[in-house]
């Protein structure tokens, strides 16, 4: 019993569970669930503190606990607005897609990105990519009269930590890291926006130009070599994404193997590992 309390206290997420167990005057009865001995208090704790809870939280089996205490959802429908992901697109596990979001063939959305299509549509085009922790959202209307959708064309590279709102990015464009592109803006084909730049509302970057600064201004013309490199850059990032897709498939196979060995949950994940570390002390 003391070993369980010490182990639970060592995990910040389980401090409340430790207090529940410590305050018990007598040793609690153990319930056999899925081949493991489970504390009823643990079931109540995890079910009641969950992101997703039933109308009346109950601990019927370990699958219910794992389902209740799972993390954020990757795909969040809003009424009839449901994200649509192409079969061969890469969307990292911790990406959040909300509402009218369309990730087209061979597109890549890397870790930590948030695409929020609650007020208008967001489209990530063929073989385009979004770097880590990019944020895309859309306003209900545009000050320029253009579409208020956030549209990204083909072979577009968007650097890490960039923010795009109700703008149109045409084919074969490079957006550097930590750029901000505001509503009503238009970036035409073969344009480059340097890292850290801010494009104010309603601005247009003509085809074949390099812009930079805050606010972004014209710097120079794009060279022929740079124009040739832009689609190759997008394809290179796509190859990296395919390696990550292979890693995800291997992870899924490992969890499937664990399920076949008796660790069956409805939504297997790290939650099961945390729970099993506690229960195996018994």
pTM of this prediction?
Answer: 0.64
Q: Per CATH, is 75-229 categorized as 2.160.10.10?
A: yes
Tokens of 139: 């306003």
What confidence score (pLDDT) does residue 251 get? 52
Higher-scoring residue by pLDDT: 72, 234? 234
Long-range CB contacts (< 8 A, 24+ apart) of 55-60? 59/33
Instruction: Give the Å distances, CA to CA, from 239 to 106, 112, 129, 233.
Output: 10, 19, 11, 10
Q: Among 49-53, 124-128, 133-137, which is the least confidently predicted range?
A: 49-53
- Per-residue confidence (pLDDT) for residue 141, from 0 to 100: 83
The pLDDT, as a whole number, for residue 54 is: 35
Residue 75 scores a pLDDT above 70: yes
Helix (H) or strand (E) segment spanning residue 245: helix 224-260
**What per-residue confidence (pLDDT) applies to 244?**
86
In a 13 Å sphere around the CA of 136, the CA atoms on its Cβ side amount to: 34
Give me the pLDDT at residue 56, please: 37
- Which residue would you say has higher pLDDT here, 239 or 17? 239
Higher-scoring residue by pLDDT: 49, 188? 188
Give 237-271 pLDDT, tens digit per residue: 999 999 888 665 555 555 555 555 554 444 444 44
Mean pLDDT of 31-60: 41
Q: What residue ranges do the domains of the chain occupy?
A: 2-71, 75-229
For residues 157-191, one letter each, b for 16 or more C-beta atoms within 10 angstroms of the residue's C-beta and e for the rest, the string is: bbbbbbbbbbbbbbbbbbbbbbbbbbbbbbbbbbb
* Mean pLDDT, range 141-160, rounded to an integer: 90
- Helix, strand, or coil (residue 87): coil
Phi, psi (5° rounding) for residue 98?
-125, 125
Sign, CA torsion 256/261/267/270: negative
178-220 pLDDT per residue, tens:
999 999 999 999 999 999 999 999 999 999 999 999 999 999 9
Q: What was the pLDDT predicted at 248? A: 58
CA dihedral of 83, 121, 155, 159, whole degrees rounded to 10: -90
CB atoms within 10 A of CB 139: 18
Mean pLDDT lowest for which of 34-38, 124-128, 189-193, 220-224?
34-38
Phi and psi of 257, rounded to 5°?
Answer: -65, -40
Percent of the chain whose pLDDT exceeds 90: 52
């Amino acid at each position: 019993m003391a070993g369980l309390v010490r182990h639970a206290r060592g995990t910040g997420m389980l401090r409340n569970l430790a207090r529940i167990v410590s305050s018990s005057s007598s040793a609690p009865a153990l319930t056999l669930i899925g081949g493991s001995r489970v504390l009823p208090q643990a079931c109540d704790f995890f079910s009641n503190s969950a992101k997703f809870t039933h109308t009346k939280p109950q601990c019927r089996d370990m699958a219910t606990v794992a389902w209740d205490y799972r993390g954020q959802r990757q795909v969040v429908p809003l009424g009839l607005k449901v994200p649509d992901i192409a079969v061969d697109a890469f969307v990292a596990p911790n990406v959040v897609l909300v509402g009218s979001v369309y990730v087209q063939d061979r597109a890549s959305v890397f870790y930590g990105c948030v695409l929020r299509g609650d007020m208008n549509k967001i489209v990530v085009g063929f073989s385009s990519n979004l770097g880590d922790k990019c944020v895309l959202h859309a306003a209900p209307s545009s000050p320029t009269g253009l579409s208020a959708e956030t549209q990204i064309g083909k072979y577009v590279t968007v650097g890490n930590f960039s923010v795009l709102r109700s703008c149109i990015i045409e084919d074969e464009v490079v957006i550097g890291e930590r750029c901000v592109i505001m509503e009503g803006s238009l970036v035409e084909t073969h344009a480059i926006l340097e890292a850290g730049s801010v494009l104010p509302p309603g601005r247009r970057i003509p085809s074949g130009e390099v812009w930079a600064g805050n606010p972004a201004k014209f710097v120079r013309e794009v060279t022929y070599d740079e124009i040739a490199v832009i689609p190759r850059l997008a394809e290179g990032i796509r190859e990296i994404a395919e390696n990550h897709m292979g890693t995800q498939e291997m992870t899924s196979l490992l969890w499937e193997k664990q399920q076949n060995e008796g660790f069956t949950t409805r939504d297997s994940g790290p939650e099961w590992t945390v729970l099993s570390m506690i229960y195996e002390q018994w």
